[in-house]
Structure 1
Amino acid sequence: MEGRSRVLLFTGKGGVGKTTLAAATAARLAVGGRKVLVCSADPAHSLGDAFDLSLTGEPSEVDTCLYAAHVDARGLVDKAWQDIRRHLRHALAGAGLDELDAAELTVLPGVDELLALTEVARLAREGQWEVVVVDCGPTAETLRLLALPEAVAGYLARLSTVDATHRLAEHLAGLRALLVDPATTSVRLVLTPERLVVAETRRTLTALALRGIQVDTLVANRLVPRASRWRGPAASWLRTRRAEQDAVLSELDASTPLPVRVVEHRPVEPVGRGPLLSLAEELYGDADPLAVPLGDARPLMSIRTVSDTAHELRIALPLTDASSLDLARVGDELAITVDGVRRLVALPVLLCRHTVVDATADGDGLVLRFESGKSGGPA
């Protein structure tokens, strides 16, 4: 993976300004001398509006060191997937499946989103970019998108008699490796300082941690300006609203070790290089947008030996009091479901012949106590 680009994924609830902030970050990085590609994987494709340019699926030059593109998922399906599907159908039929069964098995879920993500990975791998900034879709769509490589690879693993599916599964494994590599890829979550949005952000942090994907920064956008020197009803409303937003941000800051950057609401949407750079200056100040420590993310699971017969398994998930949690032992795997997001993770070999006897939660996640005995049973 030598020479791989640094990848920044911007996502957040719809309408919070993630596209503008992704564009501003890319513009700032390019001014600093890095060769940057900013691309949109959001079907809404508003990235071109931020630069006041018409973008296509091929990277085009926006400014010195800055390139931009829209990932056309539908076009990728039209160009690539039909050939892949025909190849798989032929291989499956050759393995003894009739034509109808083979056709059904090659209708993979989420193929258009999967190809969009694959295209981003290709650009990061093959392009001459130091940084690839990705404007992702709204949070729910992005979580589904980031889960696809693992989900589809699991689907293909069941088709174990076909060499073609092995090659595709290996490709998806490489794609997932890119997403979960903390030295290469991270997410920047954009939010507005409202309680409902912050609650969704906390759930997103848990879901991404469950997928093994690192978040490096939270960006609180559209704070109303301070009005300490103003007078009148409008100024009173602004002060009250800003106080509410500051209170929400204070609670958020206390609940996460992640840095929280803030951007005030602007009277007009920043469009074009100059306004975007002005926004980036407010967002990052004098700091390098990439000056966030990477590569030291905590593993999802770690073990502490308590005695010769007992061990504790810590699962690093940012949980809240409102989190809905379910754990189940499935053979040598642990099924973890948090707020409707489920993942099967293989238990460390040391614990496979042990039984879960207790489970507790604290500010750093879950702690499961295993003791030697028969394996299996619910967690």
Structure 2
Amino acid sequence: MRVLLFTGKGGVGKTTLAAATAACLARRGRKTLVVSTDPAHSLGDAMGRSLTADPSEMDSDLFGAQIDARALVDSSWDALRGQLRTALAGLGLDALDAEELTVLPGVDELLSLQEVRRLADEGPWENVVVDCGPTAETLRLLALPEAVAGYLARLSAWRAHTAVARSVDRFAAQVESLRTMLTDADTTTVRLVLTPERVVAAETRRTLTSLALRGISVDGVVVNRMVPSAGLWRGAAASWLRTRRAQQEQVIADLRESGLGPTAMRTVEHRAEEPVGLPALLEIADELYGQTSPLVGEPGPAPLVETSEVAGGVGLRLVLPLAKDSSVQLARVDDDLAVTVDGFRRLVALPESLRRYTLTGAESDARGLLLHLEKPS
């Protein structure tokens, strides 16, 4: 089973490219589900078909679904939340406090991701292609399993109620299963979509760093809507095309030279007509993949944390793609290291052997951050 997540800044064409990839896999005889967690519900528009939460066959070996996050909340979380609220109120909390403690921000996105996992496990497909929401929503979505696991670990009052405890334990197991799926590079990878514009490229660089912080593998970058080459044409229109194309190619070169993006970036030219329906999507897939497999991308990332001996202590390497102007903050939180890069934060568990060491310095290089830890005296 392979799960391929497509995301990018809103409006860059990620839905179209996710649909094109799924159509290509199905045409090659691989039973494929393309499913959208994007609240915009544009996957059906790209496919030229109406989609529901239940997978439906759109072509030979190709199935599609649109996840309804609101319905998932109504059917799954509300019942568990009611149990928690009753248990907390029974332990002496007033109704308002119990209500506040059972609010879980982002639960609709979390349940959407859990539904993707369920569909992947229970369906007959070999591949699942996911049309995620825009980048900011996707980063929040992919961070939720870790955040929710911490929330559940700290919520101890429900242990007095066996029925509630079983429900929460079951939910916690599902969350942990999601974390495992997302960080298994052999199963799940992310493919980033961007248009060749500096603002979009800057967001893509930040996304690469954030995903690396969470141990999630990015296997490729697709640059969409490249303007056609003007060739030997003359005139004002040809001059405009050459200028615009040169600007786009410079954006790609800058992204590659920054060391943040995969060395091999796929490109797709801008089309005069909006690509809707399977024939148009397969045409894009031919340009995008040629005779190569849509599932083949860059190798997975190195381990996030590496250690090495240095003079006077230990070097702790955080393998991260960092831009030259990245803002980095480090802090100790008990036995964890809080790493914040450009506003994205993650707690990295220190190896047990290093928990008594003191952080004395840090430096950045082409491979990320190298932290200096001093042995206890």
TM range (shorter): over 0.9
| Equivalent-residue separation in structure 2 for 1:367 and 1:260 (angstroms) | 28
Aligned twin of 1:377: none
If the length of structure 1 is used for normalisation, what is the TM-score?
Answer: 0.94
1:20 corresponds to 2:25 = no
Aligned twin of 1:339: 342
User: How big is each residue's C-alpha offset from its partner over 1:33-60, in whole Å with a ceiling of 9 and x where there is no partner?
Assistant: 1110001100001000111111111100
| Equivalent-residue separation in structure 2 for 1:346 and 1:135 (angstroms) | 31
Contact 1:191 1:218 in 2 (8 A): yes
Contact 1:17 1:190 in 2 (8 A): yes
Aligned twin of 2:269: 264
Unaligned residue ranges in structure 1 (runs of 5+)? 375-379
Q: CA deviation at 1:92?
A: 3.3
Q: Which moved more, 1:22-31 or 1:244-253?
A: 244-253
1:174 corresponds to 2:177 = yes
Q: CA deviation at 1:97?
A: 4.1
User: How big is each residue's C-alpha offset from its partner over 1:67-106, in whole Å with a ceiling of 9 and x where there is no partner?
Assistant: 0010000111122222121222234345554544332221
Q: CA deviation at 1:239?
A: 0.4
Contact 2:260 2:323 in 1 (8 A): no
1:105 corresponds to 2:101 = yes
The verdict on how the C-alpha distance between 1:93 and 1:171 changes in structure 2, with shifts beyond 3 A counting, is farther
Q: Which moved more, 1:339-348 or 1:95-104?
A: 95-104
Q: CA deviation at 1:257?
A: 5.4
| Equivalent-residue separation in structure 2 for 1:158 and 1:302 (angstroms) | 29
Q: CA deviation at 1:331?
A: 2.0
Q: 1:310-349 maps to which residues of 2 (within 5 A)?
A: 310-349=313-352
Query: What is the one-letter code of the residue matched to 1:244?
Result: Q
1:275 corresponds to 2:280 = yes
Aligned twin of 2:359: 356
Contact 1:159 1:165 in 2 (8 A): no
Aligned twin of 2:155: 159
Provide the alpha-carbon RMSD of the alignment.
Answer: 1.5
Aligned twin of 1:73: 69
Aligned twin of 2:130: 134
SS at match of 1:201: helix
Q: CA deviation at 1:272?
A: 0.9
Query: What is the one-letter code of the residue matched to 2:309?
Result: T
Q: CA deviation at 1:170?
A: 2.2
| Equivalent-residue separation in structure 2 for 1:232 and 1:359 (angstroms) | 55
Aligned twin of 1:304: 308
SS at match of 1:353: coil
Q: CA deviation at 1:348?
A: 1.0
1:42 corresponds to 2:44 = no
Q: Which moved more, 1:317-326 or 1:284-293?
A: 284-293
The verdict on how the C-alpha distance between 1:145 and 1:57 changes in structure 2, with shifts beyond 3 A counting, is same
Size of the alignment, in residue pairs? Answer: 368
Q: Please, which of 2, 12, 22 is the counterpart of residue 6 of structure 1? A: 2
Q: Please, which of 24, 29, 40 is the counterpart of residue 25 of structure 2? A: 29
| Equivalent-residue separation in structure 2 for 1:126 and 1:101 (angstroms) | 38
SS at match of 2:104: coil
Contact 1:109 1:152 in 2 (8 A): no
Q: Please, which of 244, 251, 256 is the counterpart of residue 253 of structure 1? A: 256
SS at match of 2:230: coil
Contact 1:315 1:365 in 2 (8 A): yes
Aligned twin of 1:287: 292
The verdict on how the C-alpha distance between 1:231 and 1:9 changes in structure 2, with shifts beyond 3 A counting, is same
Q: 1:138-217 maps to which residues of 2 (within 5 A)?
A: 138-162=134-158, 163=165, 164-217=167-220
Contact 1:189 1:201 in 2 (8 A): yes
Query: What is the one-letter code of the residue matched to 1:237?
Result: W
Query: What is the one-letter code of the residue matched to 1:197?
Result: V
Q: Which moved more, 1:74-83 or 1:283-292?
A: 74-83
Contact 2:221 2:261 in 1 (8 A): no
SS at match of 2:303: coil
1:119 corresponds to 2:119 = no
Q: CA deviation at 1:293?
A: 5.3
Q: CA deviation at 1:195?
A: 1.0
SS at match of 2:40: coil
Contact 1:31 1:65 in 2 (8 A): yes
1:237 corresponds to 2:240 = yes
Q: CA deviation at 1:132?
A: 0.7
